[in-house]
Amino acid sequence: QGEHHKKITFQQEYDKFIERYGFDIVKH
């Protein structure tokens, strides 16, 4: 259960990261 919550948090943080830096890093 805790692991799942951590995964969701990571996804949210990742989304924030993408919003800030854009998808250029993903293409890299």
pLDDT tens digits, residue range 1-28? 567 666 778 889 888 988 888 766 556 5
Residue range of the domain that includes 14: 1-28
Is the separation of the CB atoms in 11 and 19 below 8 Å?
no
Q: Where are the beta strands (DSSP E) in the chain?
A: none
pLDDT at 25: 59
In angstroms, the CA 6 to CA 12 distance is 10
In angstroms, the CA 13 to CA 28 distance is 19
23 backbone dihedrals φ, ψ, rounded to 5°: -90, 5
Q: Is the pTM of this model over 0.75?
A: no
pLDDT at 17: 85
**Number of domains making up the chain:** 1
